[in-house]
Amino acid sequence: MIVSVENVIFLYGERPALAGVSFEVRENEIFGVLGPNGGGKSTLFKILATMLPPRSGSARIAGFDVDRQSSEVRRRIGVVFQSQSLDRKLTVAENLRAQGQLFGLRGHKLTCRGNEVLERLGLATRRDDLVDSLSGGLRRRVEIAKGLLHEPSVLLMDEPSTGLDPGARRELWAYIEELRRSQGVTVLLTTHILDEADRCDRILLVHNGKVVTEGAPSELKARIGGDVVVLEVAGDPAVVREEILRRFGASATLVNGSLRVEIGNGHRFIAEVVEAFPGVVQSVALHKPTLEDVFLDETGVRLE
């Protein structure tokens, strides 16, 4: 495994940000860490990026310990931060040149490598443009170019779609998938965006600093099975919940005042439940299981 995290614990004062997190990432994989804000994602990112030492436990990237062998780890990772790290008063090429020099790249080698990453990321014609003049999506690509300049084996991305519109987000993901396909780069990213997590090969769900579950998005959603029906009802939803269990043998979960039912053949159930509770069911919604449903099943709270 190219990334291995074992029983990592980190505290802010007495508050645990990570409480025994363990997982592994395979080479050439797009691996996502999904969870709500404040769930521990950014702390985990900082530990993997060698910015914070774990209180206990261990994390290794490409065989090197992120705490004891941080210099070796930094040579092998590219980092794309959630907040912008570009100098907006410099050109795209000047930002790359400054980054390359931090990794010991000089002269012809630096120029060639800079041209290569700009070409791969569709930025060759923008090399002499000031960063300040670029759109949010283009700036994100420059951030990725910086992270890839020294040819890392692992690219770490913290909330990569932050601030991007849907079109720029789709474009960004096309480049991420191309990086994995053409260069064999392993990508580990944190996110709270469901459709972003759906694009990963595997995801780790975290909540309150703990691992909730992990697996391929399709596998996690398949655990729920059937359909998800959400009912808005008049009166006391707890009473309706008990009646649904008695009449249909289906368990309903009360979430923010609505009743949520996981059941096969949701369309038939909707017709039957509306008929069974005339005037009580005020509205219904039906959808296939999502990663938010998985998170709700595992934690009892929404992914917010």
d(CA 143, CA 204) in angstroms, rounded, equals 24
Strands 77-80 and 154-158: parallel
Three-class DSSP category at 45: helix
Every domain range in the chain assigned CATH 3.30.70.1150: 226-288
Between helix 136-148 and helix 166-183 the angle, nearest 10°, is 20
Report angle CA 131, 97, 42 to the nearest 5 degrees. 65
Q: Any bridge partners for residue 65, and if so which?
A: 60
The CATH class given to the 3-220 domain equals alpha beta
Contact residues for 11 (Cβ-Cβ < 8 A; gap 6+): 17, 55
Q: Which two tokens stand for residue 141?
A: 């690509």
pLDDT in tens, 201-247: 999 999 999 999 999 999 999 988 789 999 999 989 999 999 999 99
Q: Which two tokens stand for residue 70?
A: 């941080």
Which pLDDT value is given to residue 176? 87
Every domain range in the chain assigned CATH 3.40.50.300: 3-220
Surface-to-core class of residue 231, CB atoms within 10 Å of its CB (0-12 exposed, 13-18 middle, 19+ buried): buried
Residue type (1 letter), 150? H
* CATH number of this structure's domain 226-288, picked from the four choices 2.40.30.10, 3.40.50.450, 3.30.70.1150, 3.30.1370.100: 3.30.70.1150
pLDDT in tens, 25-76: 999 999 999 999 889 999 999 999 999 999 999 999 999 999 999 999 999 9
pTM, to two decimals: 0.87
